[in-house]
């Protein structure tokens, strides 16, 4: 194995995604991060796409108008000599399996918490996904310009709900109308907050040292005393930052601020580039691939349909694991055993596509294809290896899809299979009837599928509700017992789009009961490609 000459290119890269509950401030933070990365000139240029902001029917139109939505893009920019790849995660109504899989393609995550609310449902789900690879998490407590939960209670909540130790790096001085800034434990600096500066990069207004008399003058001696006492207590009761624990996902450094006021983001970013890992090694079915290897390798974690319905081509997003991409290079598609010359790989920046000449381990490149590339596929320069750990997740919402005109059954199936290959929905075919069940993680996907079936496959379909709470992929070493199980539970069995057997559970109670009854069978929450 020879080593890449471009080690410095790899070492300066940081790949991360933002995880948060809707409305916690992901879009606002992304915007401020891009402002610091000089990728945009002025905050306010990215439109948020909250579920309440656009009627659902507008959605496809919006996607079309924008070419490619910002929520599917990879934003690359530099910050303090580091090159950041920020992979955006669909969040509101467009929440989908892509959100989950994107998390498996990054090396660290920024968790944004609305400090007025605490740990919310979506955050819990997303953190669970980060656990699959012990991804390091940096936490940003947002909306300090509003009345927030008690900061110590917030940390307790994160520790309890998400099972991760919290090491505060900064600490807020007041909140809401009396928010005066933050104290940085490790720099012994007080950063003062100034309102009304949210759309620009502010010069840090700093007081050196907590004991500095200037602090008393600026924030008043009562508040100064109060914060000194509080900080004594916080120091004694919270863990120190420990890089090893951060890197194995058991401790998160915590920052406080306000995205809207653009305050605290740079403190967080400075640590993110310093502490987060550069592109990491990945496992394959045969060996570990290291980022510094000379040979190009990568895996597909997302397929994006072309926005122009007349063109059936899609873009496959490849996370480069090792080596170096160069325009016109020949790469090997392991699943099909074919070589292809890549002359037009794209990078997906905010609202524009541009062709790239070179990319390194950690970067994401987009390849045009007509359905030959699938999620989970591995690309190399000839080696027969397959990256593991790119999962299909059990959908959370299910519907039975029905046709207006039953003659179109074949087109429906073809359309559904092709659309499911993009990874936004999954299809299940019960083994004892002819139903077609569509499963997704976000509700908007159902609408998108019906609209695309109509536009691209000329099939009119609707949905009916169906009594399914979840599905589980099945594994059993004891073939005899497995056959017995299958015979007895035929009514609950279906095949997924890759013909894997799944158990369809109408309720969680049913799932738990069946698990107890058949302890030799594994009921898996996700399936790897
Ligand atoms: P999301 O992408 O996580 O869904 O959140 P987004 O950034 O869209 O923020 C959700 C709402 O919270 C927005 O208000 C946004 O302005 C507000 N917000 C974000 N950060 C802060 C903060 O630090 N302080 C305060 N007070 N508010 C914050 P909105 O009214 O829904 O939308 P808009 O009209 O302001 O765009």
Query: What pLDDT does residue 444 have?
Result: 82
The whole-number average pLDDT for the span 214-237 is 95
Average predicted confidence (pLDDT) for the chain: 88
118 CA to centre of ligand 1 in angstroms: 15
Mutate to test the pocket of ligand 1, among 94, 259, 264, 265 (most ligand atoms within 8 A of CB): 259
145 lines ligand 1 (CB under 6 A): yes
- Which tokens go with 229? 């006492």
Q: What is the DSSP letter of 496?
A: E
- Of ligand 1's listed atoms, the one at least distance from the Cα of 30 is 7
pLDDT in the model for residue 74: 80
163-172, 390-399, 478-487, 515-524: least confidently modelled range: 390-399
- The Cα-based distances of 482 to 431, 490, 493, 509 in angstroms read 16, 12, 12, 21
Q: Look at ligand 1, atom 35, and give the residue with the nearest C-alpha.
A: 260
pLDDT score recorded for residue 69 = 42
Which residue's C-alpha comes closest to atom 22 of ligand 1? 143
The third-level CATH classification (topology) of the domain covering 3-65+77-83+108-275 is Rossmann fold (3.40.50)
Model pLDDT, residue 345: 80
The alpha carbon of 28 and the centre of ligand 1 are apart by a number of angstroms equal to: 6
Tell me how far the alpha carbon of residue 379 is from its chain's centroid: 22
> Once rounded to an integer, what is the mean pLDDT over residues 146-163?
95
Q: Is 199 in the pocket of ligand 1 (CB under 6 A)?
A: no
How far apart are the CA of 117 and the centre of ligand 1, in A? Answer: 13
Please give the distance, rounded to the nearest whole angstrom, from the Cα atom of residue 25 to the centre of ligand 1: 5
Query: So what's the pLDDT on residue 278?
Result: 97
pLDDT above 80: residue 418: yes
Judge if the beta carbon of residue 22 lies within 6 A of ligand 1: yes
Distance CA 381, CA 334 (A): 9
Which residue's alpha carbon is nearest to atom 19 within ligand 1?
Answer: 25
Total residues belonging to the chain: 529
The finding on whether 94 has its CB within 6 A of some atom of ligand 1 is no
Q: Domain segments of the chain: what residues?
A: 3-65+77-83+108-275, 282-380, 394-528
Pick from 130-139, 177-186, 361-370, 475-484: least confident: 361-370
- For residue 164, the number of C-alpha atoms closer than 13 Å in the C-beta half-sphere is 32
Q: How confident is the model at residue 309 (pLDDT cuts 50, 70, 90)?
A: low
Give, for ligand 1, the residue of 17, 18, 24, 25 to mutate: max count of ligand atoms closer than 8 Å to Cβ.
25
pLDDT of residue 4: 64
Q: In this model, does residue 51 exceed pLDDT 70?
A: no
State the distance from the centre of ligand 1 to the C-alpha of 364, rounded, in angstroms: 28
Cα angle for residues 130, 97, 372 (degrees, 5° grid): 115
Q: What is the pLDDT confidence band of residue 311, given thresholds at 50, 70 and 90? A: low
- Closest Cα to residue 31, out of 81, 72, 83, 88? 88
CATH of domain 394-528: 3.30.70.3280
pLDDT bracket for residue 476 (50, 70, 90)? very high
What's the half-sphere exposure (Cβ side, CA atoms, 13 Å) at 480?
A: 0
49 lines ligand 1 (CB under 6 A): no
* 85 C-beta closer than 6 A to ligand 1: no
Contacts 24+ apart (CB under 8 A), 477-480: 477/520, 478/520
Give domain 282-380's CATH architecture.
Answer: 3-Layer(aba) Sandwich (3.40)
Is 226's pLDDT higher than 60? Answer: yes
Residue having the nearest C-alpha atom to atom 17 of ligand 1: 25
pLDDT value at residue 158:
97
Position 246 pLDDT exceeds 50: yes
pLDDT at 182 exceeding the cut of 90: yes
Q: Note the helical H segments in 37-76.
A: 58-65
Residue having the nearest C-alpha atom to atom 32 of ligand 1:
48
- Cα of 213 from ligand 1 centre, angstroms: 35
Ligand 1 mean position, distance from CA 218 (Å): 29
Residue nearest to atom 6 of ligand 1 (CA): 25
**198-202, 359-363, 447-451: which has the highest mean pLDDT?**
359-363
Nearest-CA residue for atom 33 of ligand 1? 48
Model pLDDT for residues 379-390, shown as the tens digit of each residue:
999 999 999 988
Does the beta carbon of 47 lie inside 6 Å of ligand 1?
A: no
Which of ligand 1's atoms lies nearest the C-alpha of 257? 23
How far from 357 is each of 15, 155, 201, 423, CA to CA, in Å?
Answer: 20, 45, 31, 28
Using CA atoms, how far apart are residues 400 and 437, in angstroms rounded to an integer?
A: 5
Q: Give the mutation target among 21, 24, 28 for probing the ligand 1 site: most ligand atoms within 8 A of CB.
A: 28
Closest atom of ligand 1 to CA, residue 31 = 7
Nearest ligand 1 atom to alpha carbon 48: 8
The predicted-structure confidence for 80-115, as pLDDT tens digits, reads as follows 999 999 987 877 766 778 888 999 999 999 999 999
Q: What pLDDT does 93 receive?
A: 66
| Separation of CA 23 and ligand 1 centre (Å) | 6
Q: What are the structure tokens assigned to 449, written together?
A: 């599928």
Ligand 1 pocket check for 25: Cβ under 6 Å: yes
Residue 43 CA, ligand 1 centroid: distance in Å: 13
In the chain, % of residues over pLDDT 70:
89
Atom nearest to 28 CA in ligand 1: 7
Judge whether 3-65+77-83+108-275 and 282-380 match in fold. Answer: yes
Cα(107)–Cα(84) distance, rounded to whole angstroms? Answer: 11
Nearest partner of 379 among 400, 392, 389, 365, judged by Cα: 365
Backbone phi and psi for residue 117, each to the nearest 5 degrees, phi listed first: -115, -35
Rounded-to-integer distance, Cα 335 and Cα 270, Å: 41
Q: Per-residue pLDDT tens for 14-27?
A: 999 999 999 999 98
CA–CA separation, 232 and 235 (whole Å): 5
Q: Which of 167-171, 379-383, 421-425 has the lowest mean pLDDT?
A: 421-425
| Pocket of ligand 1 contains residue 27 by CB under 6 Å | yes
The confidence score (pLDDT) of residue 209 equals 94
To test the pocket of ligand 1, the residue of 48, 95, 110, 182 to mutate (highest count of ligand atoms within 8 Å of its CB) is 48
């Amino acid at each position: 194995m020879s080593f890449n000459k471009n080690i410095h290119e790899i070492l300066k890269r940081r790949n991360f995604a933002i995880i948060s509950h809707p409305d916690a401030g992901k879009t606002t933070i992304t915007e401020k991060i891009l402002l610091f990365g000089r990728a945009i000139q002025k905050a306010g240029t990215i439109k948020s796409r909250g579920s309440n902001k656009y009627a659902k029917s507008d959605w496809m139109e919006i996607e079309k108008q924008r070419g490619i939505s910002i929520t599917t893009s990879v934003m690359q920019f530099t910050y303090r000599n580091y090159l950041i790849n920020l992979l955006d995660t669909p969040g509101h109504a467009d929440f989908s399996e892509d959100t989950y899989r994107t998390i498996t393609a990054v090396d660290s995550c920024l968790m944004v918490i609305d400090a007025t609310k605490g740990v919310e449902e979506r955050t819990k789900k997303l953190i669970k996904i980060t656990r699959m690879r012990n991804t390091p998490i940096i936490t940003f407590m947002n909306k300090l310009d509003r009345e927030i939960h008690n900061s110590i209670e917030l940390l307790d909540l994160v520790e309890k709900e998400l099972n991760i130790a919290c090491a505060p790096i900064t600490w807020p001085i007041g909140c809401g109308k009396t928010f005066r800034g933050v104290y940085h434990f490790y720099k012994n600096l007080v950063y003062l907050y100034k309102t009304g500066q949210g759309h620009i990069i502010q010069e840090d207004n700093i007081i050196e040292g907590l004991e500095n008399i200037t602090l008393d003058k600026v924030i008043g001696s009562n508040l100064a005393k109060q914060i000194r006492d509080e900080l004594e207590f916080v120091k004694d009761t919270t863990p120190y930052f420990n890089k090893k624990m951060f890197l194995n996902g058991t401790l998160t450094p915590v920052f406080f601020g306000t995205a809207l006021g653009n305050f605290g983001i740079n403190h967080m970013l400075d640590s993110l580039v310093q502490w987060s890992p550069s592109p990491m090694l990945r496992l394959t079915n045969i060996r570990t691939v290291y980022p510094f290897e000379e040979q190009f390798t990568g895996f597909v974690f997302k397929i994006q349909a072309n926005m122009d319905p007349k063109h059936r081509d899609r873009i496959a997003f490849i996370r480069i694991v090792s080596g170096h991409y160069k325009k016109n290079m020949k790469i090997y598609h392991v699943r099909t055993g074919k070589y292809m010359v890549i002359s037009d790989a794209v990078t997906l920046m905010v609202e524009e596509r541009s062709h790239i000449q070179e990319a390194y381990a950690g970067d994401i490149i987009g390849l045009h294809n007509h359905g030959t590339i699938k999620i989970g596929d591995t690309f190399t320069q000839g080696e027969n290896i397959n990256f593991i750990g790119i999962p299909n997740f059990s959908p959370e919402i299910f519907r039975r899809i029905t046709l207006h005109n039953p003659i179109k059954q074949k087109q429906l199936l073809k359309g559904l299979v092709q659309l499911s290959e993009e990874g936004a929905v999954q299809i299940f075919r019960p083994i004892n009837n002819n139903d077609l069940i569509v499963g997704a993680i976000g509700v908007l996907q159902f609408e998108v599928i019906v609209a695309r079936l109509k536009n691209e496959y000329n099939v009119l379909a609707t949905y009916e509700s169906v009594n399914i709470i979840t599905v589980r992929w099945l594994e059993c070493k004891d073939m005899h017992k497995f056959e017995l199980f299958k015979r007895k539970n035929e009514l609950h069995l279906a095949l997924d789009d890759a013909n894997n057997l799944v158990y369809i559970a109408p309720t969680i109670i049913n799932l738990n009961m069946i698990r107890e009854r058949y302890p030799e069978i594994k009921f898996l929450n996700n399936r790897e490609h």
